[in-house]
C-alpha cells in the first residue's frame, strides 16, 4: 500500500515554537539552514526510491527557487504551505486569500505547476477557522491537509473523523487528508510526525503505519527540514517549546530511513489518486 509522506518546507526560525525569538521582519537577516535538511531528505528519498509532497512556504520558494526545482526534478510534488507561516486566525478570510495568492505566485515563478494541495501553518485549521475550507476550494485546490484530529492546546479537531474524507464547501468539494492518528483509549493519538515522531519510539510509528495499512487506510506523515538538522543554532525558548523543538533531532533521519525501507511512500496526490500521468 502506498502511504503519503510530506514535508513542510520552512526554516527553523519560522516555527511557531520559536516565534518569540524571530519576528517576521528579522527572517531575511538570519542565515539559512535549509540546505542541511533538504539534502538529508532528498538523499533518503532517492536511496529508497520514494516520493513525497513538499509543502513550501512561499517565502522559501521566493528565496530558494532551486529547491523547488530539485524537488520537481526528482519527481516529488510541490504544494503550498502559504506565504508567511501565519496562523489562520491571525490572517482571517481575506488575509488567507492574499497569503495563498502570494505563495502561489512564488511557486509558479520557481517553475512549479499551480499547487493542488494546501497545508495551513501549524495545523490552525480548526472548527473556529473552518471558513478556510471555502478559501482553499475557491482558489482551485484539490485537497487540503491542515486538519490534525487530536486534542492539543493550540490546534486540532479531536472529533474529526481520521482518514481521507470529502469536505463540502460553499465553493465546491475539497478532499481532506488529515495527518494520521492512532485510536486508543477512546481518543486519537498523534503518530503522524513532527515532534511526536521524534518523541515516540520509532517502533511505535511503524506499528501505527502497519495498523493503518491492515485497515486499508493510507498513512499521512509529515516532517520538516529543520528536524534533520541537529547542528542548528540553539535559541532560547520556553521549557516546553524548547523541549519539543530540539528533542531527538539526530534520530529523525535514521527513523525516516527505516520507515522508507519498511513501507512504500508516495506523494499526497498519488495516494489520493489525483496525480497526473508522468
Ligand atoms: Zn509549518
Q: Which grid coordinates are listed for 95?
A: 488575509
Residue 82 DSSP SS3: coil
Ligand 1 centre to CA of 8 (Å) is 5
What separation in Å is there between the alpha carbon of 58 and the centre of ligand 1? 11
- Tell me how far the alpha carbon of residue 228 lies from the centroid of ligand 1, in angstroms: 15
pLDDT per residue as tens, the chain (278 positions):
999 999 999 999 999 888 888 999 999 999 999 999 999 999 999 999 999 999 999 999 999 999 999 999 999 999 999 999 999 999 999 999 999 999 999 999 999 999 999 999 988 999 999 999 999 999 999 999 999 887 777 777 878 888 899 999 999 999 999 999 887 778 777 888 878 889 888 999 999 999 999 999 999 999 999 999 999 999 887 778 888 888 899 999 999 999 999 999 999 999 999 866 55
User: 3-state DSSP call for residue 4?
Assistant: strand
Which residues neighbour 34 within 8 Å (Cβ) at sequence distance 6 or greater? 9, 11, 60, 64, 67, 225
pLDDT of residue 16: 87
Tell me what pLDDT residue 64 has: 98
State the distance from the centre of ligand 1 to the C-alpha of 10, rounded, in angstroms. 6
How many C-beta atoms lie closer than 10 Å to residue 259's C-beta? Answer: 22
Fold of 2-22+31-271: TIM Barrel (3.20.20)
Q: What is the dihedral of CA 85, 140, 62, 231, to 10 degrees?
A: 50
Q: Name the residue among 83, 109, 85, 87 with its Cα closest to residue 98.
A: 83
- Each domain of the chain, given as residue ranges in start order, spans 2-22+31-271
Amino acid at each position: 500500500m502506498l502511504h503519503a509522506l510530506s514535508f513542510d518546507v520552512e526554516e527553523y526560525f519560522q516555527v511557531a515554537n520559536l516565534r518569540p525569538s524571530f519576528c517576521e521582519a528579522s527572517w531575511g537577516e538570519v542565515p539559512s539552514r535549509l540546505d542541511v535538511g533538504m539534502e538529508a531528505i532528498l538523499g533518503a528519498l532517492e536511496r529508497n526510491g520514494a516520493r513525497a509532497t513538499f509543502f513550501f512556504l512561499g517565502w522559501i520558494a521566493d528565496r530558494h527557487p532551486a529547491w523547488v526545482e530539485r524537488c520537481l526534478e526528482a519527481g516529488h510534488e510541490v504544494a503550498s504551505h502559504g506565504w508567511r507561516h501565519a496562523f489562520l486566525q491571525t490572517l482571517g478570510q481575506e488575509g488567507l486569500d492574499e497569503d495563498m495568492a502570494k505563495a502561489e505566485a512564488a511557486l509558479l515563478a520557481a517553475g512549479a505547476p499551480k499547487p493542488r494541495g494546501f497545508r495551513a501553518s501549524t495545523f490552525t485549521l480548526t472548527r473556529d477557522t473552518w471558513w478556510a475550507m471555502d478559501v482553499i476550494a475557491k482558489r482551485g485546490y484539490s485537497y487540503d491537509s491542515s486538519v490534525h484530529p487530536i486534542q492539543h492546546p493550540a490546534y486540532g479537531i479531536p472529533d474529526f473523523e481520521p482518514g481521507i474524507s470529502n469536505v463540502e464547501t460553499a465553493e465546491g468539494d475539497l478532499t481532506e487528508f488529515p495527518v494520521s492518528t492512532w485510536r486508543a483509549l477512546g481518543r486519537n493519538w498523534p503518530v503522524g510526525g513532527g515532534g511526536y515522531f521524534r518523541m515516540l519510539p520509532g517502533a511505535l510509528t511503524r506499528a501505527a503505519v502497519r495498523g493503518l495499512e491492515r485497515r486499508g487506510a493510507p498513512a499521512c506523515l509529515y516532517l520538516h527540514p529543520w528536524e534533520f538538522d541537529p547542528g542548528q543554532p540553539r535559541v532560547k525558548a520556553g521549557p516546553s517549546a524548547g523541549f519539543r523543538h530540539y528533542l531527538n533531532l539526530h534520530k529523525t533521519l535514521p527513523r525516516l530511513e527505516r520507515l522508507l525501507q519498511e513501507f512504500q511512500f508516495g506523494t499526497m496526490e498519488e495516494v489520493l489518486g489525483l496525480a497526473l500521468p508522468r
